[in-house]
Amino acid sequence: MPFDDAPNHADVLVLGAGPGGYVAAIRAAQLGLSVVIIEGRWWGGVCLNVGCIPTKALLRNAEVADLVTRQGGAFGLTGDLHVDYATGWKRSRDVASRMSDGVRFLMKKNSIRAVEGWGKFTGPHTVEVQQSDGATTTWSFDHAIIATGATPKVLPGMTVDDRVMTYEQLITADHLPNSLVVAGSGAIGVEFATIAAAFGTDVTIVEYLDRLAPNEDEAVSAELARAFRKRGIKSMTGTAVRHVQQSEDGVIVDVAPAGGGEGTTIRADALLLALGFAPRTDGFGLEQTGVSPNGNGFIDVDHEMRTSVPHVFAIGDVTGKMMLAHVAERQGVIAAETIAGKHPMPLDYDSVPRATYCEPQIGSVGLTKAQAEAEGYSVKVSRFPFAANGKAQSLGESAGFVMLVADAETGLMLGAHMVGPDVTELLPELVLAKTWGLTMEQLAITIHAHPSLSEAVMEAAEGISGTAIDV
């Protein structure tokens, strides 16, 4: 329906312009639907503005800084070398700004009405928007897609400021503290630890569970811990943050064993809370649509991203499925295509790639060895070290490995777990193998370019049958 015929009505209303929301809006428009998208703060969401994209720019800065300061001599870089965080930080903000502007451009290109302001449902088919320019408008819609995202968790009683921070405060500051405690060792925790340590910050990670990156395979966690020790990053695992007190010159963090026992204190300039996310559902009038969050605050959806109310869909972090930008994007496409009467392929969450951009990087898909065994598989595991890979040696980054988990009976790949140089770029062929049921033999006989890091995948696949050449 053209907007000219019904200027304040849309076939699809999208609430939130993060990776899921703006992708859903574009796909719906491509399918001939009229679309309005409402965003109150960040076009492109947390990801483009203060998350995925600017952190990758900062991590690139950190990679270069680490290269010249820690490994410069091996590459013939001598003399006085100065690394300036503020300059690299400005580059990260420029990258974020360009990407966010790109989302606005795509809305215009696809004839999507983009409304800046806070949208709140006032009925099953209406939303009132308090616009950024002070005006109030009301939109009606046939279908709605809720893409409101999530907010970082904060420990009870803590107030976020320039000393007790979430990723947002740290990534928007043009300087780093001299010392930093990082609470949590998920993707955000280990990525910011990498960035800060590369620029000389004294970093201590406090992790409640018994190992770093606890959602990854145990072997990956152990390799990351070794690499972080070499970079001077301290880790306290199996440790809980009990209390934080601000002092005149920083914070005093009280920590204790997670299972109970005598505690200790850590003094630092700042504390980064990297404890995960809570769904962002308050203040949007969801009750007016008939949609109710579940007991954990997330919005339940089916395989088509439909909520309990048939014409209302939800995608991204607010669903609590997997809090990853690429999951939100695919969910957005599924929702839009379902609304348009298509029958999209359901999302296989077991085949979703997981990428963490610390140094060394972590990439994984599918089951760990322990998970596969728990599900009753007869498991065969092959591990190929980057120390035996020519490209990794040439890069001067030979730590880490590719580990494949296969069904011993069928040879099908059950999971892949990697830690090492640029391993996030090695994920696509492994996701393809997991999604479409390729065997380790098929992966092994596929020719990989030499020299390349991807040869480690090939040789790990060969290792399942005992035919790996270089180990």
List pLDDT tens digits, range 88-107.
999 999 999 999 999 999 99
Instruction: Give Cα separations from 202 to 119, 199, 226, 233, 390 (angstroms).
Output: 42, 9, 17, 7, 33
Instruction: Give yes or no for a contact between 45 and 96, defined as CB atoms under 8 angstroms apart.
Output: no
What pLDDT score was predicted for residue 240?
A: 96
Mention every residue, 6+ apart, whose C-beta is less than 8 A from residue 437: 412
Query: Of all residues in the chain, what percent carry a pLDDT higher than 70?
Result: 99
pLDDT given for residue 157 in this prediction: 83
The mean predicted confidence, pLDDT, of the chain is 95
Bridge partners for 383 per DSSP: 403
Q: Where are the domains of the chain?
A: 9-50+91-152+278-350, 164-275, 360-464
Give Cα separations from 219 to 21, 192, 384 (angstroms).
Answer: 36, 22, 12
- For residue 197, what is the DSSP state? H
- What pLDDT does 470 receive? 84
Could you tell me the fold of the domain covering 360-464? Enolase-like; domain 1 (3.30.390)
pLDDT tops 50 at residue 211: yes
Assigned CATH for 9-50+91-152+278-350: 3.50.50.60
Segment 141-152 mean pLDDT: 97
Beta-carbon contacts of 98 under 8 Å, excluding residues fewer than 6 positions away, are none
pLDDT of residue 158: 85
- Model confidence pLDDT, tens digit, residues 289-320: 999 999 999 999 999 999 999 999 999 999 99
User: Rounded to an integer, what distance in angstroms lies between the CA atom of residue 112 and that of residue 103?
Assistant: 11
Residue from 430, 442, 458, 444 nearest 350 by CA: 430
Long-range CB contacts for residues 309-312, cutoff 8 Å, separation at least 24:
309/124, 311/124, 311/125, 311/142, 311/143, 311/144, 312/124, 312/143, 312/144, 312/146
Token pair, residue 458, equals: 């090939």
The pLDDT assigned to 3 comes to 52
Q: pLDDT-based confidence at 176, cuts 50/70/90? A: very high
Cα–Cα distance between 406 and 108 in angstroms, integer? Answer: 47
DSSP category for residue 148: -
pLDDT, one tens digit per residue, over 328-340 is 999 999 999 999 9
pLDDT above 50: residue 134? yes
**Structure-block tokens of residue 388:** 């035996």
pTM over 0.85: yes
Read off the pLDDT band of 458 (50, 70, 90): very high
| Helix (H) / strand (E) containing 273 | strand 270-273
Residue 5: pLDDT above 60?
Answer: no
pLDDT band at 82 (very low <50, low <70, confident <90, very high): confident
Give the pLDDT score at 4: 53
Q: How far is CA 170 from CA 20, 127, 167, in A?
A: 24, 34, 5
Whether the pLDDT of residue 428 is over 50: the answer is yes
Q: What is the mean pLDDT of residues 249-273?
A: 95
Domains 9-50+91-152+278-350 and 164-275 alike in fold:
yes
Average pLDDT over residues 166-192: 97
Residue 1 pLDDT class (50, 70, 90 cuts): very low
| CA atoms of 119 and 128, how far apart (whole Å) | 6
Say yes or no to pLDDT of 2 above 90: no
Residues taking part in catalysis: 450
Return d(Cα 471, Cα 463) in angstroms, integer. Answer: 9
Name the packing angle between helices 19-30 and 85-109 (round to 10°): 30
Domain 164-275, what fold?
FAD/NAD(P)-binding domain (3.50.50)
The residue count for the chain: 471
Phi/psi of residue 380, nearest 5 degrees: -125, 135
